[in-house]
């Protein structure tokens, strides 16, 4: 997740956006775990705070062999504190890890050469590597939010399919999420898109919300996730699930 969003006071443990986004991740993880004969190695690439990986480990401790949080921003102290632990912070993916699931939660949009980094990730993985990827959707929604967070692009499902095809990944499901709020967000960001905002963005659009509104948004989007796989039309986020390496 974007560490800059934590600076605005967002608590992913309660915020509707993060709590609903973990729903499809959990459901795909359960499906993969049920199909394997031993615990999975979770590789959280571009992990930042590691929120989603920690949530996975808390929910499925018996189905996880180890959690590797991969981020070039980790300090030497952070690396030392987790060395040899079941949840370990590293700057790079070790070679040849088998029976893994690679999660990239809103990461690829931060990388200029997304094709190159995906190829590098796949080259390091051993057999049986699954993936769960989310990226922001539709360049028409581009705003100061993206500039502030350091994004290079927003995606569509065909763009994600082409990217994954470049490494011969087998995509099992692709879909959009956050469809219900897409029109309102599109209008709001178009309205706010001024030259000054784009050149000097002061914050992202993510912020804490009043409890009742946060509850309603979380409840609705959790419900919407039940129909996620059928949404090939629009939403604020693209999701892709499948196999990176057999």
Structure tokens at 38: 């031993």
**Lowest mean pLDDT, pick from 46-60, 94-108, 163-177, 180-194:** 180-194
**pLDDT at residue 195, as a whole number:** 58
Number of domains in the chain: 1
Dihedrals phi, psi of 176, to nearest 5 degrees: -100, 150
Residue entry with tokens 């018996």: 62
**What is the CB-side half-sphere exposure of residue 81 using CA atoms within 13 A?**
6
For 131, the domain range is 3-245
- The pTM is what? 0.94
Q: Any idea what the CATH number is for the domain that residue 140 is in? A: 3.40.50.150
Q: What is the pLDDT of residues 120-139, one digit of tens each?
A: 999 999 999 999 999 999 99
């Amino acid at each position: 997740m974007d560490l800059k969003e934590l600076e605005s006071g967002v608590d992913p443990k309660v915020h509707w956006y993060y709590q609903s986004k973990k729903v499809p991740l959990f459901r795909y993880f359960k499906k993969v775990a049920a199909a394997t004969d031993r615990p999975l190695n979770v590789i959280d690439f571009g992990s930042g705070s590691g929120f989603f990986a920690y949530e996975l480990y808390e929910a499925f401790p018996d189905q996880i062999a180890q959690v590797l949080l991969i981020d070039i921003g980790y300090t030497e102290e952070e690396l030392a504190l987790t060395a040899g632990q079941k949840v370990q912070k590293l700057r790079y993916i070790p070679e040849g890890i088998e029976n893994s699931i690679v999660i990239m939660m809103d990461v690829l949009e931060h990388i200029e050469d997304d094709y190159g980094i995906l190829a590098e990730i796949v080259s390091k993985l051993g057999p049986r590597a699954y993936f769960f990827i989310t990226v922001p959707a539709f360049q028409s929604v581009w705003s100061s939010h993206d500039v502030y967070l350091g994004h290079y692009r927003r995606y569509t499902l065909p763009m994600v399919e082409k990217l994954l095809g470049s490494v011969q990944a087998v995509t099992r499901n692709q879909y959009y999420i956050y469809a219900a709020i897409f029109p309102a967000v599109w209008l709001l960001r178009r309205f706010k898109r001024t030259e000054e905002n784009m050149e000097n963005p002061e914050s992202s659009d993510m912020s804490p919300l009043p409890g009742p509104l946060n509850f309603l948004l979380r409840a609705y989007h959790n419900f919407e996730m039940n129909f996620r796989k059928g949404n090939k039309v629009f939403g604020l986020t693209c999701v892709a699930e499948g196999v990176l390496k057999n």
